[in-house]
Chain A
Amino acid sequence: AQSVTQPDIHITVSEGASLELRCNYSYGATPYLFWYVQSPGQGLQLLLKYFSGDTLVQGIKGFEAEFKRSQSSFNLRKPSVHWSDAAEYFCAVNNNNDMRFGAGTRLTVKP
């Protein structure tokens, strides 16, 4: 069965610093991978997705993610974090409309 692991429950970074959120997946075939962000009291917003082609995917709000098949990873990155990026981030894998989410990583941004 497919699964998603986000090893970091909570990460704190300073504003302007770089960010990397980790995501590992377990899935037999080519995965369809997504990153979502959830701000407090809000629903989920799609940041980016990967299902084929270039392994470096660009998303909204300056985020990018790199798919590495050899490491079963799909880590999310941002070169310079803004205070408004503080939120919960979820990695997800979709197999035939069965979307499974990781446990989430809560990002705190220090001024």
Chain B
Amino acid sequence: SAVISQKPSRDICQRGTSLTIQCQVDSQVTMMFWYRQQPGQSLTLIATANQGSEATYESGFVIDKFPISRPNLTFSTLTVSNMSPEDSSIYLCSGGLAGSGNEQFFGPGTRLTVL
């Protein structure tokens, strides 16, 4: 299994600012993902973080709003840009091996509140 850490664990931000969330995996994974979990909701996939290339975004999410980097196999960042109160959510990073039969391992999440 993989152990995934995220920083920061929580933050309170002002409208119009940006926050970068870091995700570190303790072992090499082939796939890394970013999810959003709005209050009381399930997880929604934002994008798949691709090593050394642009992330693959899901419908409804765009690179200008959620730029993602993955410079190597074990590290990725998600930036929430030009934040509004609607961006208040938990943001979760996950990683795993490629293949449908493989589970994803999740970080503890970053709880973001935008005022």
Contact = CB atoms under 8 A, between A and B. Distances in A.
A63 interface: no
B31 interface: yes
A46 interface: yes
Nearest to B48: A97
Contacts, number: 52
Interface residues of A, number: 23
Interface of A: 32, 34, 36, 41-46, 49, 51-52, 90, 94-99, 101-104
Given A103-B42, A104-B42, A46 B105 contact: yes
B101 A90 contact: no
Interface string B95-106: 010111111111
Interface of B: 4, 31, 33, 41-43, 45, 48, 92, 94, 96, 98-109, 111
A27 to B, nearest CB: 10
Nearest to B105: A46
Contacts of A90: 42-43
